[in-house]
């Protein structure tokens, strides 16, 4: 039996190497991507050791003394971190509920348009904000919504009280959701429009012959046709729950709204660059966030598989 296994193994290895050689150009195309992932994704994991050490720049990462879970105990006992965690979860879950369906609706509406010229114009209009950085968008918003900006000038001219949305804890989160939809919905809808384009047109023709109206065609053909795409993107979005949008929040945030807008990423930035830096503690916060994201990804995928029958991965 061992001799048979030994006889089969070399032959299998030769077939494997032959298959690799036959597809060598494909592997060469994959090589830059694999190398970049190893360097920029797996290489930095070496720095995770900081989460378990009292970092001393003179000693380096490896020679710095181990302190075990001390950073994590400090993290869970810090009121500012608890507030940042709460805000992160509230903002991220609200994004998932409010923002996630908008690109689906927009993609379906654009897919139903018959006039191609108008459709292309609207696609351009909706997609353009994606290419603006949050620095530019925040600058525009601050100029327009400032107490002396055009919006409040119009309110004053109408005899109404001025509203400082950027410094109002009740309206700031709503501003985050609205501006995120304005900036990203058009770009995200492209994925759904591509999925819609892959649906067999004969299904729509058969539905029209059967007397199905536009809404019925959308409900029974379009949405089931793009369901796999929706599932994949939903699972990926759930796996980013702990990333509540650093660029947007950081550029729009101010001291007045910090109690409702401080998220984990801005908290890490503040304790690292606006105070005496503690790189071990900052790394512990980042590792905590990554572990939670990974756990949420697995849980969401399991729930989706239980309801839908298929998920992002096994």
292: three-class secondary structure by DSSP: helix
Distance (Å, whole) CA 284 – CA 295: 16
Please tell me the distance from the alpha carbon of residue 109 to that of residue 113, in angstroms, as a whole number: 7
Specify whether domain 74-308 bears CATH 1.10.3720.10.
yes
Per-residue pLDDT of the chain (314 residues; tens, 9 = 90+): 444 444 445 678 888 888 888 888 998 999 999 999 999 888 888 888 888 988 888 888 888 899 988 888 888 888 888 999 999 999 999 999 999 999 999 999 998 888 888 889 999 999 999 999 999 999 988 888 887 788 888 888 888 888 888 888 888 999 999 999 999 999 999 999 999 989 998 999 899 998 888 899 999 999 999 998 998 888 888 888 888 889 999 999 888 899 999 999 998 888 888 777 788 888 898 889 889 988 888 888 888 888 777 666 65
- Domain regions of the chain by residue span: 74-308
Contacts of 285 (CB under 8 A, 6+ apart): 75, 81, 264, 267, 268, 271
* pTM for this model (two decimals): 0.81
Query: In whole angstroms, what is the distance from residue 278 CA to residue 57 CA?
Result: 11
Q: CA 43 to CA 47: how far, in whole Å?
A: 8
DSSP letter for 199, please. S
In sequence order, the 6+-apart residues with CB closer than 8 A to the CB of 296 are 238, 239, 241, 242
């Amino acid at each position: 039996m061992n001799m048979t296994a030994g006889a089969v193994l070399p032959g299998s290895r030769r077939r494997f190497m032959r298959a690799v050689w036959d597809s060598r150009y494909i592997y060469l195309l994959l090589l830059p991507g694999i190398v970049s992932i190893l360097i920029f994704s797996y290489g930095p994991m070496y720095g995770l050791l900081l989460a378990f050490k009292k970092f001393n720049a003179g000693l380096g990462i490896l020679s710095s003394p181990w302190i075990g879970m001390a950073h994590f105990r400090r993290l869970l006992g810090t009121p500012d971190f608890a507030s940042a965690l709460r805000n992160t979860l509230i903002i991220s879950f609200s994004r998932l509920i409010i923002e996630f369906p908008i690109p689906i609706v927009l993609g379906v509406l654009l897919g139903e348009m018959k006039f191609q010229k108008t459709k292309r114009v609207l696609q351009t209009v909706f997609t353009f904000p994606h290419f603006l950085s949050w620095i530019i968008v925040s600058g525009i918003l601050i100029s327009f919504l400032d107490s002396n900006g055009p919006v409040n000038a119009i309110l004053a001219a109408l005899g109404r009280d001025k509203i400082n949305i950027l410094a109002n804890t009740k309206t700031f989160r709503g501003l985050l959701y609205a501006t995120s939809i304005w900036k990203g919905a058009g770009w995200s809808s492209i994925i759904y429009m591509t999925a819609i384009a892959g649906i067999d047109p004969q299904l729509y023709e058969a539905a029209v012959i059967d007397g199905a109206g536009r809404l019925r065609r959308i409900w029974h053909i379009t949405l089931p046709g793009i369901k796999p795409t929706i599932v994949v993107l939903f699972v990926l979005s759930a796996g980013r729950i702990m990333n509540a949008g650093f660029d947007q929040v950081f550029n729009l945030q101010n001291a007045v709204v910090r109690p409702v807008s401080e998220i984990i990423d801005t908290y890490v930035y503040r304790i690292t660059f606006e105070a005496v830096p503690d790189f071990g503690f900052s790394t512990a916060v980042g590792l905590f966030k990554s572990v939670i994201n990974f756990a949420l990804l697995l849980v969401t995928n399991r729930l989706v598989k239980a309801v839908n029958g298929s998920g992002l991965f096994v």
